[in-house]
Amino acid sequence: MPEGKIIKALSGFYYVLGDEGLVQCRGRGVFRKNKVTPLVGDHVVYQAENDQEGYILEVKERKNELVRPPISNVDQAILVFSAVEPDFSTTLLDRFLVLVEFNHIKPIICITKLDLANEKQKANLDQYVAHYRKAGYDVILTSSETELGIAELMPFLEGEISVFAGQSGVGKSSLLNVLRPDLELKTNDISSHLGRGKHTTRHVELIEVGNGLVADTPGFSSLDFTDIEAEQLSSCFPEMALQSENCKFRGCLHLSEPKCAVKAAIESGEIPEYRYEHYKDFLQEIKERKPRY
């Protein structure tokens, strides 16, 4: 049986790219019975009825999957955040970073709209960029208008399956239009009434950019930590994970425990205070989460 990768899902159809080209497939009823929903990014076994149509018979094991956006087998997440309009938010960025780290996906921070930032905003941003780079993250500064940083971003996409994710209105589609001009993806201005972008991307699709595949995903602004347990959270902050090896107690939550290496690193300025504040906020959120039965 032929095998391929789902590169697009739309209205109950799955578009599978295999050796024979693109085949429009439906899922067999067995998936519904077993509560398996094929996702974009899935490696599948399919049966072709003819050159253009077929059925998905099997979904191969996934290395990871995201719920929002619904996609699997992602190598890296390009987290797109604007310098301004909407303003750069470390709280929202850290939420994305935690979820991406938890799913064992490599994050790359991409800050857009540099051309719109004034000198004071750029100076403020430079401090945050230095913090995130020190924590081990790749950070790329870009502008879709001036094409700043585009040449720097392209090599990261080579041979990888990347998901572009971020809040609505930060310029994900504009960035992809610069990376691949023939896409002509629809973009919308920021809604002045709401102060945020209108959703322009309606479905998940893997598109070829350079020698890699990129998913342009629907923008969203709320993320929750449904599957993360309190003890797992600090491992999603790389600089805290590194320091926590020196904590006196195993399972240290870095709150009020004695001889906590993470708290010592915060007091010495090794870990930025705002990252720790976000950690505490997220931890509280996890602890107050309603139990699932």
Residue ranges of domains in the chain, CATH in brackets: 3-61 (2.40.50.140), 66-216 (3.40.50.300), 230-287 (1.10.40.50)
Give mean pLDDT, residues 160-181: 88
Measure the CA–CA gap between 96 and 282, rounded to whole angstroms.
Answer: 12
Tens digit of each residue's pLDDT (9 = 90 or more) over 201-256: 457 889 999 889 998 665 544 478 888 999 999 999 999 999 999 999 999 999 99
Average pLDDT over residues 17-38: 85
Nearest to 282 by CA among 216, 241, 224, 240: 224
**Considering the entire predicted model, what is its pTM?**
0.86
Digit-coded pLDDT (tens) for 134-148: 999 999 999 999 999
pLDDT score of 112: 97
Tell me which residue has tokens 């004034």. Answer: 118
In this predicted structure, which of 107-111, 145-149, 173-177, 188-192 has the lowest mean pLDDT?
Answer: 188-192
Can you give the pLDDT at residue 255? 97
